[in-house]
Structure 1
Amino acid sequence: MRAIPTVALLLASLACHAETPQQIRQIYVAEATSQQAGFAPSAKRGDAFFRQRFAINDKMPTCASCHTDSPLKAGQHAVTGKAIKPLAVAANQDRLSDPAKVEKWFGRNCKEVVGRACTPAEKADFITYLSEVR
């Protein structure tokens, strides 16, 4: 029973100090590990998640609907037409550098595209993929 508050405090502490994609990924890895023993993030699963088709929204059935087939390229929001900077860290150094922004966009995009909140494991995999894609 004490483990949950301890994990929450640890995650809050990590979030305050996260400034790199690797540090932000570790927040989600810690959370995923508390739910699934032995969890290890995977760029391959992150890539599959990026390309997965969800039946929730016809205009945005995949992440690639707005972010193109390559996270190294700029995209455009499928509904508003607003320009979107590349997702990949290699193409956008500012990407995945602010934990509050990362969580905000996961919250919004997971709801719109996936139709639910993304799991900590999905977030860790996604960040791993975006950090490694070249």
Structure 2
Amino acid sequence: AAAVTAARAADASFSPSAERGRALFTSSPAAGKPDTPSCTSCHTTTLTRAGQARAGKPIEPMAPSVVPTRLSDPATVEKWFRRNCPDVLGRDCSATEKADLLAFLTGL
């Protein structure tokens, strides 16, 4: 909700798009760290299954249908955006990108 509010502050007509979120999640922008060229590098393309961080640590499935608490805490979600967006994109995610990603992920 906070990401949508922030995105609408910049563009009142903004509407989150799961399709744009999926495209961003599966893209390989090649602007971040070489070992994390895309979100799927760690989270895999099957978001109902566990992933693995580059350090070898397991990552719970991204799909809230599998892990209901997955996207339930806004502070935790924002922490992971702050950490992962620069690794993959080479910069922070914009408010619209966050809203689109959440639209995609919450639909899983």
1:40 matched to 2:15? The reply is: yes
- Structure 1 CA distance for aligned equivalents of residues 104 and 96 of structure 2: 12
Matches within 5 A, 1:34-113: 34-55=9-30, 56-78=32-54, 80-113=55-88
Provide the secondary structure at the position in 1 that maps to 2:100.
Answer: helix
- Structure 1 CA distance for aligned equivalents of residues 24 and 67 of structure 2: 20
TM-score (ref. length: structure 2): 0.94
1:132 matched to 2:78? The reply is: no
Output the aligned Cα RMSD: 0.9
Higher helix share: 1
Relative contact order, higher structure (CA 8 A, sep 6+): 2
**How many residues end up aligned between the 2 structures?**
107
* 1:27-50 Cα deviation digits (max 9, x unpaired): 111110111220000110110010
Name structure 1 gaps, 5 residues minimum: 1-25
Q: Give aligned-pair identity as a percent.
A: 46
- Structure 2 CA distance for aligned equivalents of residues 130 and 59 of structure 1: 23
- Shift in Å at residue 61 of structure 1? 0.2
- Structure 1 CA distance for aligned equivalents of residues 5 and 23 of structure 2: 22
Max Rg structure: 1
Provide the secondary structure at the position in 1 that maps to 2:28.
Answer: coil
Equivalent position amino acid for 1:67 in 2: H
- Structure 1 CA distance for aligned equivalents of residues 77 and 53 of structure 2: 17
TM-score (ref. length: structure 1): 0.77
- Structure 2 CA distance for aligned equivalents of residues 117 and 61 of structure 1: 15
- Shift in Å at residue 70 of structure 1? 1.6
Name structure 2 gaps, 5 residues minimum: none
